[in-house]
Structure 1
Amino acid sequence: MKRSLIALALVAALPFAASAQDAKSGLSYNYVQGGYVSTNTDAGDADGWALGGSVAVHPNVHLFGSYTSQNVDGVNADFDQWRVGAGYNKSFSPKADFVANVAYEKYDLGGGLDFDGYSAEAGVRGALTPMLEGYALLGYEDGGDFDGDAYGRLGAQVKFNQSWGVVADVKIADGDTQWFVGPRITW
């Protein structure tokens, strides 16, 4: 059912990509960000810090990566997560882009417990006002050793100027929630 829902969402998004205009949306895919991250699950909660960034290598292609390190509440344990990938972005209006990302993901739970996985997501990113951007993505992730999950991701950036802003992101998957907030520098 989850895979069918994701497939349906991606198929529904294809006409937007196919009818996209060549007009630039003015959204930058060149940034570095860092900040606070928190994960809330049925098995327990964790929090820590995260670093991430993206660089445009073509007007419609960007590479991205992130690293998070979180401590699990109530126990002496932590986990790290790496994510690297490539994305496609295409303007379909003067202020909005269709975005599709694929990524390799690595989870390290310590004590020799680690696993590799992948994720794929697609959605819309847009400039809501000159000082506010937002995005909404639907995705699917599979960790190899655990069953895959569909997820939704919402985010926004409040810009102080063309270079500095504060970004917030929330990802919801099967009742688990991960959120991030921190400063971003864009060029």
Structure 2
Amino acid sequence: MKKLLVLALTLAAAPFAATAGEHSYTYVELDANRQVIESTGSDLDLDGFAVKGSFEFAESFSVFGGYQRGEESLRSNFGPSVDFTGEQAHIGLGYHHGVSDSTDLLVEVSYIKSQADIEGFEVIDGDDGRVSVGVQSALGEKVDAWVKANYTDGDVYDSEFSATAGLLVKFNKTWGLVGEIEAGDDVTNYGIGVRASF
């Protein structure tokens, strides 16, 4: 996580000479997703998908949200495998402010709903709140990068810090390839997919 925070400071301070396009805060995105949960004994690797979206309003604000789902079959030495399903949805409000021609400061607050379903056991769910601060910067006309520091607290996350880093490679004004990683103490989330910006 420290490396991601160093990257955030580097992006914020770097004097990018390339001509940058405007950042788009209105988009829809579809990702292939993997969530790795570190647990006692063995890690859970939940493979699935994620859908995300954002809508900009009033120039500096945006509303955003998303849903992800992943599954893994847990092998047992004493019987048949057990299916583990994890789902998470979030919705939030973001603020962005230009600090240079190519870089925006990001501040976000969001609500997260998590649910875990272990076959044969009771469903576990919880509600959490998150605050994120970071920067998004254009690395030329075709590439955007962002890094954020996150603080999450509630039922599932107990005063936990994580860091997010992402990269968007634009094919044209609308379509692009996007990748993002969020790393915390016990959970790491990876996603790669396509984004349509408007």
Pair 1:150 & 2:161 matched: yes
Q: Could you tell me which runs of 5 or more consecutive residues in structure 2 were left unpaired when the two chains were aligned.
A: 13-19, 75-81
In structure 1, runs of 5+ residues without a counterpart are 17-23
Whole-Å separation in 2 of the counterparts to 1:167 and 1:85:
20
- Greater shift, 52-61 or 103-112, is seen at 103-112
Tell me the equivalent position of 2:115.
108
TM-score after normalising by structure 1: 0.84
CA contact (8 A) 1:69 1:79 kept: yes
2:15 aligned partner: none
Q: Which amino acid aligns with 1:34?
A: L
Match of 1:82 among 81, 86, 89: 89
- Equivalences for 1:8-23 in 2 at 5 Å? none
Identify the residue that residue 21 of structure 1 maps to in structure 2: none
The answer (yes or no) to whether the contact 1:25–1:91 under 8 Å persists in 2 is no
Aligned pairs, how many?
168
Greater mean deviation of Cα atoms: 139-148 or 154-163: 139-148
Q: What stretches of structure 1 move > 3 A for 4+ residues in a row?
A: none
Q: Map Cα deviations across residues 131-161 of structure 1 (whole Å, 9 max, x no partner).
A: 0000010011113254121000000000000
Aligned-residue identity in percent: 27
Partner of 1:93: 100
> Given the alignment of the two structures, is residue 28 of structure 1 paired with residue 24 of structure 2, yes or no?
yes
Deviations 1:30-66 (A, max 9, x none): 0000111101122222110000000001111000000
Give the TM-score, by structure 2 length. 0.79
Amino acid in the other structure paired with 1:98: L
Corresponding position of 2:129: 118
| 1:129 Cα deviation from its structure 2 partner | 1.1
Say whether the 8 Å CA contact 2:21–2:140 is kept in structure 1: no
Distance 1:127 1:101 in 2: 19
